Amino acid sequence: MHSILLVEDASFFEKAVMMTLKNIEETDVCVARSYKEAEGLLSSGKVRPSLALVDLTLPDARDGEIVDLVKSHDIPTIVFTSRYAANIRRSVYGKGIMDYIVKDSPSSLDYLGELIQQLRSNPETGVLVIDDSKPARESIIRALRMHRYQTFEAASAVEGQKILEENPQIKLLLLDYVMPGEDGFAFLKALRRKYGRDDLAILGLSGIDDDENRIRFLKYGAN
């Protein structure tokens, strides 16, 4: 059972979110209407949500403290709020949230429902990151794991090819196409002889800003 902690003090938005979530199979929703309520639920150990959906402004925590609370329990978190400002958005993203959704139209509820559905299926999907830079790989892997993907990493095309062959659940490849001693374009062409676009999506990465390389990579079969 997929369990969600909804922290929302406005009854209108609570009902709207509950209506959105009720159509998602095998989803159990626990509601807290204040910081204190959420803190009590999490501290009791009776609630172990796999996802938190939180408003930033609560009666007893008006400055986004709820994000710190749920993240301290290592819960993947989506912010769903009527407050939008670039500095607020940057601040909460810096705390490692999954997404920041503004309550400004019915489409935001549709987006929320689609996002949660996607998060349910992501664990079945493998993503491989091939990059010779370890810090770059680690940064990308952190973001992918936050969205619950299975993650794999390689420092070279040769290593990546072996991982691909051993893990058929990999459906997305993030490939640095400019690596020392390797030709990312030749590797891409070789991959496309074996994997069609429907079998393996390939996105190119590079620290070099070069339009010609981007065009070549797309022509050789990248998505």
Considering just the CA atoms, what is the radius of gyration of the chain in Å?
Answer: 20
CATH number of the domain to which 137 belongs: 3.40.50.2300
| Of 121, 143, 160, the domain-final residue | 121
Residue 74 domain boundaries: 2-121
159 and 81 housed in the same domain: no
For the stretch 99-148, pLDDT in tens is: 999 998 889 999 999 998 888 889 999 999 999 999 999 999 998 998 88
Q: Are residues 139 and 97 in the same domain?
A: no
Asked if 99 and 154 sit in the same domain, the reply is no
| Percent above pLDDT 70 for the chain | 98
208: left (phi over 0), alpha (psi -120 to 50) or beta: beta
Same domain, 14 and 46: yes
Domain-terminating residue out of 103, 121, 139 = 121
Residues 64 and 137 grouped into a single domain: no
Domain boundary among 121, 148, 179: 121
Whether residues 81 and 154 fall in one domain: no
**For residue 9, what are its two tokens?**
């003090």
The answer for residues whose C-beta is within 8 angstroms of residue 4's C-beta and 6 or more apart is 21, 27, 28, 29, 30, 49, 50, 51, 52, 53, 116
Q: How high is the pLDDT of residue 105?
A: 85
The structural domain count of the chain equals 2
